[in-house]
Structure 1
Amino acid sequence: MNLNDGVVRSPNASPLRILLGIPEAEFDAFFPADTLGALSGLGQITIAEPAALQSPGAFEAAAGEAEVAITAWGFPRLDAERLAMAPKLRCVLHAASSVHFLVSDDFWDAGIPISQSGAAMAPAVAELSLVFTLALLRRLELMDVRLRSGATWDEARNVRRAREISGARIGVVGASRTGRRYVEACLALGADVSIYDPYLTADDVLAARSTTLDSLLAGSDVVAIHAPDTPETRGLIGKQQLALLKDGAAFVNTARSTIVDMAALFAEVSSGRIDAALDVFDDEPLPADDPWRGLPNALLTPHIAGATEDSRRRAGLIVVDELRRFLAGQPLEHALTRTDLERMG
C-alpha cells in the first residue's frame, strides 16, 4: 500500500517500519516513556544512533525496510545514494528545526514529504531572549561580575541606571515563530515594539509595527535578533548598522551569529558603548580563550536557548502527531517544501 495515497493503513498489513535516529544523549528528552509508547503503537521501531548511520553499510541495514524516518542532528544527508538504500521510505519527520543538512535536490525530486518540529523550540528560544532583554535592561550581567570579582558594594552599584521593560523600545529583527513569541511577551510587559522583516504583508497583525532596519537600530533600547540564517540575512548587521545603535543600547542574539558581523559587535561591546547577550557564536563550542568570555558587559550562554525539557518533549509529541496525520492521509501540519527552505535557517 502506498502510504501517500490518503488511505488509512489496513489493520491486516504488516507493521509500519519506523527508523528512529535520535542522538542517545537526547533520546529520553524527545521520547520519554509515554511518548515512545505512543510511537510504538504506530509501527515497528528500529532505533539507531545517527552518528553510526554515517557508515553506508550501517545505514542500509537500518533503513532498508524503513517506511518512515524520524531524524535529528547527525543523521546522514538524504542524497541519491542514501535514498537508494532506503527504497521504501515514504516520509521523513525531523524532530529538530533546520533540515538544510538533511535534504538534497535528490530528496526533493523524490517527492517524499518531510516535516520538522521547530515550532516546539519557539517558546523556549523566545523566553531566553526575553530573559536576556530583562537582564540587560537591569544591568544584571555587569553587577554580578563586579560583586563576584571583589568590587565594593558601591562599585557594584555604580553602573548606568537600570531600565524597566515597560515603556522600553524593543526592536525585533525577524518576524519568525520565535520572533512573534518574543514580541507577544514584550508587549504583554508594556514594551514599545518595532519590527524589521521585509516579508511582512499588509494584512499581518504585526504590519503596523513594521519599520526599516536603520530606523529600528537607531531607535531601540534593545535589539533582538530572530531572523533565520539565509543568504539574504548573512551579514545583515555589520559595522555600519551597529554604529546606529545609541549609547547604552543592548543587543540580544538567540538566532544565528552569521546574521551579525561578530568582530564589529565585539568592538562595540568591548568599548562599553553597548551591552550584549548572546547564545550563538561564530566558533562553537566557544574556545576557552575566546575574547567574548572576558567581557563583563556580555551575558553568554552555550547555544542552549531551544534546549529545554519542555521543548524536547513538545518536539517528540509533534513527531507522533505528524505520523498519525500521515497514516490517516491528512496533510502534515509542519510540512516543509523546497521553497520554504529559502526563507528558513
Structure 2
Amino acid sequence: MEKPKIFISQPPAAVKKLFCDEALDILQSFALVTRNKKRGCGLLTENELSAAIKDVDGLITGWEGGCVTKNNLTCAKKLRVMGLIGTSVKHIEPEFAIDRGITVLNTAPALSVSVSEYTLAHILSSLHDITRRHLMMTQNRSWNKCREGFSNDLRHKNIGLIGVGLIGSLLIGLLKPFKVKIIAYDPYLPKKRAKELEIEMVSLEKLMATSQIISIHAGLTNETRKLVSREMLNLMHDGTLLVNTARGKIIDQKALFEIAKKKKIKVALDVFEQEPLSLQSKFRKLPNVILTPHSANFNNDTYRWVGLTLAEDLKKFFSGRKPENAVFKERLPLMT
C-alpha cells in the first residue's frame, strides 16, 4: 500500500526543536515525509508553500511554520489533514479547510499541562513575593529590607477563573490541594461540566469584585478582546493578584498599567498586547508586576510532547482511526 505524503513547513532549526527523534521515527514509519529546507527563519512564500503541498496528503505547520492561505489550500488538491504545532488556528484558514473536507488537528493537550503549571508557579511566586525578594538579594539590599512587602499563602483563597477550557480545567486540579474556593466566568461552559469540576459559575463583575486571585484562560476572540476592561479592573480590591497566561489583548493594557500603578494589587503577565514587549514599556518599571516573555509553554518537555502528540494523531488519522485532537468547526469562534 502506498504511503501518504506529509510536508513539514517549519524550517530545519524549528523541526530539530519541535520533533524529537522518536516523533520523526513515528512519522516516517507510515508516511513519506518531506520538509522545508530553507535556512534561517525559513518561512516559505505563499507560492513556495503551494508548490510544496500540491501533491501531499498531510501538512504539518503551526509554530514557526507561517500562515496557510486559501490559495494554498485550493492548490493542495490531495490534502486530507493539517496538523498544527500549537493551539492557535486563525492563521491557517481553518473554516475554509474544514469546508473542503480537510481535517484540522492541533496539540492543545500537550501544551495545556505546561501552561497550567506555569500559571500555578506565577500564582505562588507572586503571593510569596519570591521574584522581588530574589532581585533585592542580588542587589545586596539589607536583610530586613528584603523581607519587607505583602505576601500570603495560597490556601483557602478565593480564586476566579476567566475561561475554563483545557488549561483552566487542569489548573483547577492543581489548585484543589490548597483547599481554595474556585469561581469562574465562562458563558460557554456547560452546567454539567461546572458541576463535575466543583466550581461555581458567576458573572464577570462578581468574579472581579470578590476574587483574591484572578487567572485568565480564555481564547482571544472578538467577544473577549478587552473583556477585562477598565470598569472590570476597577472592581478589584487591594491585595488582589491578576495573572494572565492567555492573550494580552483580553485585558485593557493601558487601564491595567494605570490601576496597577496606583492600587495595591499584584500582576503577573506572560502575554502582552504587543509582542515582543517594548524595552520602553512602563510595565517594566512597576515593582508589583512580574513579567515573562510569552513562555508558559516553552520548555524541553513541551517541545518533546507536541511533536509526539501530533505524530501519533497523524498516524491514527492515516490508519483510519479517530485522531485525539481534531478541531471542530463549531469550536472555531471560541479559539485564538
TM-score (norm. length: structure 2): 0.92
2:166 alignment partner in structure 1: 177
Q: Does the 8 Å contact 1:141/1:298 carry over to 2?
A: no
Q: Does the 8 Å contact 2:22/2:308 carry over to 1?
A: no
Which residues of 2 match residues 180-191 of structure 1 at below 5 A? Answer: 180-191=169-180
Q: Does the 8 Å contact 1:169/1:219 carry over to 2?
A: yes
* 2: CA distance, partners of 1:254 / 1:104: 24
2:291 alignment partner in structure 1: 300
Q: Does the 8 Å contact 1:141/1:297 carry over to 2?
A: no
Q: Does the 8 Å contact 1:237/1:259 carry over to 2?
A: yes
1:266 alignment partner in structure 2: 257
2:330 alignment partner in structure 1: 339
* 2: CA distance, partners of 1:117 / 1:282: 24
Matched, 1:41 2:29: yes
2:154 alignment partner in structure 1: 165
* 2: CA distance, partners of 1:96 / 1:208: 28
Letter in 1 for 2:163: G
Q: 1:253 aligns with which of 244, 265, 271?
A: 244
Letter in 1 for 2:34: T
Q: Report the more deviating stretch, 74-83 or 33-42.
A: 74-83
Q: 2:273 aligns with which of 277, 282, 289?
A: 282
| CA displacement at 1:281 relative to structure 2 | 0.7
Residues paired across the two proteins, number? 332
Which residues of 2 match residues 231-246 of structure 1 at below 5 A? Answer: 231-246=222-237
Q: Which consecutive residues of structure 1, in runs of 5 or more, have no partner in the other structure?
A: 1-10
| CA displacement at 1:73 relative to structure 2 | 2.9
Q: 2:184 aligns with which of 195, 205, 208?
A: 195
| CA displacement at 1:114 relative to structure 2 | 0.9
* 2: CA distance, partners of 1:245 / 1:260: 14
Matched, 1:126 2:82: no
Q: Report the more deviating stretch, 266-275 or 33-42.
A: 266-275
Letter in 2 for 1:255: A
* 1: CA distance, partners of 2:163 / 2:95: 27
Letter in 1 for 2:274: D
Matched, 1:101 2:83: no
Distance 1:41 1:172, change over 3 A: same
Distance 1:198 1:66, change over 3 A: same
Which residues of 2 match residues 2-21 of structure 1 at below 5 A? Answer: 11=1, 13=2, 15-21=3-9
Q: Report the more deviating stretch, 179-188 or 326-335.
A: 326-335
For the aligned residue pairs, the C-alpha RMSD in angstroms reads 1.9
| CA displacement at 1:301 relative to structure 2 | 0.5
Q: Does the 8 Å contact 1:79/1:107 carry over to 2?
A: no
2:44 alignment partner in structure 1: 54
Of all paired residues, the percent bearing the same amino acid is 29
Matched, 1:83 2:73: yes
| CA displacement at 1:191 relative to structure 2 | 1.9
Q: Which consecutive residues of structure 2, in runs of 5 or more, have no partner in the other structure?
A: none
* 2: CA distance, partners of 1:53 / 1:137: 41
